[in-house]
Amino acid sequence: MKTPNAMSAPATRKPWPMRWIVATIVLFIVPYTYVNLKFRKPGKAFEPYADMKAQANVNRLLDAGYRRVDVPAERPFPALSPAEITHGPAAKPAAAPGGLPANLAKTLIDPPRLPTAYRDLVAPAESNFLLPAKLQFTARLASDREQLAGADLYLRETQLVIVPRFEPVPEGLQARSAESTVLLTLPSGLLAPGRHALTLVGASESLHWDVVVR
């Protein structure tokens, strides 16, 4: 009869050989990657916080009577001549206090990055309802580490607030100058026939002018 000390210990379970672990991982990753690339929806991934904040911003703008329009912005080279932009009489801009209008500033969840000020605005004094309209200006930025990212238009009745968007350049790079010439194209049908007041918003100084839409 065997004594307890003579009894053999339970057999220790041997770990899987490394080659089988690697093979298992590969067998899982390859089909997963194929299915993910083939069937996932195009566009950026769902970001709950960012998407909810964007929707909240839209709702707040609508409640305040604003409609936001994203418009293309480009840096023309060379800059367009006044005749290429106005196709008739040119607008006469006047300096205005910097900053967003009070009712719009308290509506937006995140305040935009505003250029410091502007110069050399060229815009039509009259516009055709059925045609897109262009305006060109030089924006003075706070530093040479920002680049053009687009523009937002905030429309409320006969008031149009124009906010160019700038963003930081990638780390280690810088823009050629702290000034940037910008060309915006306003879509056709944006402004109803009649007289409208437009404001190009800057942090320290804005520009204000009128346009008649026919």
2 is a domain residue: no
pTM across the whole model: 0.72
122 is a domain residue: yes
Domain that holds residue 119: 67-213
pLDDT digits (tens, 9 = 90+) for 33-70: 666 666 665 655 555 655 676 677 677 887 888 999 99
Q: Residue 158: is its pLDDT beyond 80?
A: yes
145 is a domain residue: yes
Distance CA 92, CA 212 (A): 12
Report which of 41, 196, 204, 46 is spatially closest to residue 133, judged by C-alpha positions: 196
Report which of 60, 69, 70 is spatially closest to residue 104, judged by C-alpha positions: 60
106 is a domain residue: yes
Q: What is the mean pLDDT of residues 173-198?
A: 88
51 is a domain residue: no
Q: Residue 207: is its pLDDT beyond 70?
A: yes
10 is a domain residue: no
pLDDT digits (tens, 9 = 90+) for 139-153: 998 877 788 888 999
Copy the structure tokens of residue 168.
Answer: 């930081």
42 is a domain residue: no
Determine the straight-line distance between the first and last CA of the chain, rounded to whole angstroms. 112
- Residue 6 is predicted with a pLDDT of 47
- Residue 53 is predicted with a pLDDT of 65
20 is a domain residue: no
Number of domains composing the chain: 1
